[in-house]
Amino acid sequence: MGSGRLYGAVAAGGFRRYATYRAATAAGVFTNTVFGLILVYTYTALWDERPHLGGYDLAQAVTYVWLGQSLFKTLATGGGGVETELMERIRTGDIAVDLYRPADLQLWWMAADLGRAGFELLGRGVIPFLFGALFFDLALPTDVSSWAAFLVAVLLAALVSFGIRYLVALSAFWLLDGTGVSQMVMFVGWFCSGMILPLNVFPGTLGEVVRALPWSALLQAPADVLMGHADPLGTYAFQGTWAVVLLAGGRMVQGAATRRVVVQGG
């Protein structure tokens, strides 16, 4: 119970911390809305030429766009979560202080990232989505159970996202700067999460491969749950499996780093 309260407080602190950046949040809302408009009209042109591409009609494709813009920062698909600060603390040697805390390093940062994600969903994700729903014809469910299933999928997506980015951050234990690794993973994430195009439109072997990778659990999985294109339980199993694999991998890499790597920074 004490540990639960501790990590709950860390998550709440992460939420409050990101809530203080009001100007940045407003700029992010504007940016996501503009990019949403660009993608909507791009998708409209594409779907006019190829109706029902990837099994989506035009309304579902437009819905997918606004879901992507509402979840972009929530799931830190392009980076920008707590991994940036964690890499900096590893680089400067401040991570030694974190390791002396009477708290688990991975759980601490995961709680902080979930708090950040919660704020980004409410503070930056809701308004672009409402804008899309107001001005475009979206394929949205009317029953509460579908929305509840969607939120569960988003939570699992946040865990998968953290698992990926935590592994990226830990690379800084061996590298002087993990920025290069972070940028490479960011570009892979944009493509393989479906942020550019739904993964359903990718043909043949390429489509099978990208849909099996962990990034497909970020945007494609919650979107398909919301629009009724995927069984929620099967989706949860896929997301949960990747979350366990990635978090366990992070635990192993963390153990190797803290046992054998000299802390940088002096």
Task: Transcribe 40-57 into DSSP letters.
Answer: HHHHHHHHHHSTTGGG--
Cα–Cα dist 127/7, whole Å? 28
Backbone angle region of 228, left / alpha / beta, with phi > 0 → left and psi within -120 to 50 → alpha: left
Q: What is the pTM of this model?
A: 0.92
Burial (CB < 10 A; 0-12, 13-18, 19+), residue 36, is buried
Q: How many CB atoms lie within 10 A of CB 209?
A: 13
Residues 243 and 158: their CA atoms lie apart, in Å, by 9
150 touches 92 (CB < 8 A):
no
Give the integer Cα–Cα distance in Å for 81 and 166: 10
In tens, the pLDDT along 61-79 reads 999 999 999 999 999 987 7
Between 125 and 81, whose confidence is greater?
125
Answer yes or no: is pLDDT of 14 > 60.
Answer: yes
Which of 202, 259, 257 shows the shortest CA–CA distance to 90?
A: 257
pLDDT in tens, 41-65: 999 999 999 998 988 999 999 999 9
Are the C-beta atoms of residues 188 and 197 closer than 8 Å to each other?
Answer: no
Structural contact between residues 220 and 238, judged by C-beta atoms closer than 8 angstroms: no
pLDDT band at 222 (very low <50, low <70, confident <90, very high): very high
Q: From residue 264, how far is each of 91, 97, 99, 108, 261 by CA, in Å?
A: 6, 12, 14, 21, 9
How far is residue 258's CA from residue 80's CA, in Å, rounded to a whole number?
24
How far is 170 from 154, CA to CA, in rounded Å?
A: 24
Residue 216, pLDDT above cutoff 60? yes
Q: Would you give the distance in Å from CA 225 to the centre of its chain? A: 16
- Asked if residue 265 has pLDDT above 60, the reply is no
